[in-house]
Amino acid sequence: MKAQIVHVGADVAQSHIDLHGEIAGLPARIANTKINLRRRLKILAGLGSVQIVCEATGGCERALVAACHESGVPISVLNPRQVRDFARAKGQLAKTDKIDARILCEYGRAFQPATPLEPSLQKLAAYSARRRQLIALRTAEKNRTYRCDPLLAASHRAVLHVLDRQIAAIDAALARTVASCARLRAKIAALTKVKGVGPISATALLAALPELGTLSKNQAAALAGLAPFNRDSGLFRGQRHIHGGRLPVRSALYMAALVASRYNPVIKAFYDRLRSAGKPPKLALTASMRKLLIHLNSLLKSPLLLSS
């Protein structure tokens, strides 16, 4: 008989972590330091089937996630909005660290969230996110150079030089991360066989959607924010619109689908058919992104890739 998982909610702050669960010694507050995390996780690991549940907090949770991987304790990192909606649905409007830890524990029991990414995928996601930030900074800095004072132009060029070096360093780190993991290498090799998908797009896609290859086609489209949702009520039939999802996934897919709509025979035929039917270019390209994503998801369902 499979042991029942005991969920422990962890509300993470910069200085401390509040823990809540049906385990002796909890609820408790511990300092958010490596020593305290290792000591507490060692105790939890000895209790058997324990799973930590926390929220994404902009980086404060990274030490906890790393410590959990070292200790072999499963951890799930949740979208804060979903947890807050869950709390409101329960009528819990007050918000404190202790209450949040309890809500996370209850969320874990109710929904059994998936366990986390392996360390290589976490690194890939962190480096990819930093690359997007640096490129946004570089674009903003380039825009400031337009018809500006010569002294300011020199300042902008100096900043751009620094940003270019930082982006190159992140690209090198991404390449090392991929090279160090056989599974990542195999996945990227499979993705880049599709016309329109290059190494940068494939890496960004896996970083933003590490579940790719384990999802149904509808799940993949929904997570990417490419699934049109119904808006019907009674006799009213509203327009279908995409909503939510992960913006970095759509950003990675946009350029890939744009190239594929010109050079990939299958995507090009699909795009041209929609345009011939009178669909706007933006709608046709969005539909092409969805079709491309579903195809890439099916490619990664190979048993060899999943087990490598």
- Would you say residue 116 has pLDDT above 70? no
- Would you say residue 270 has pLDDT above 50? yes
Distance CA 161, CA 165 (A): 6
Q: Are 12 and 57 in contact (CB under 8 A)?
A: yes
* Tokens 């982006």, located at residue: 167
The whole-model pTM stands at 0.72
Mark out the alpha helices in 241-299 (DSSP H runs).
247-263, 265-276, 281-299
Instruction: Extract the tokens encoding 32.
Output: 């958010």
Angle between the N-to-C axes of helices 62-71 and 34-45, in degrees from 0 to 180, rounded to the nearest 10: 40
- Which tens digit of pLDDT belongs to each residue from 211-269? 888 889 988 998 899 988 777 777 777 777 777 788 999 999 999 999 999 999 999 99
For 130-154, the DSSP string reads: HHHHHHHHHHHHHHHTTT--HHHHH
Residue from 88, 106, 91 nearest 11 by CA: 106
Residue from 226, 222, 212 nearest 298 by CA: 212
Mean pLDDT over each residue of the chain, to the nearest integer: 89
The least confident of 16-30, 31-45, 80-94, 234-248 is: 234-248
The least confident of 80-89, 218-227, 298-307 is: 298-307
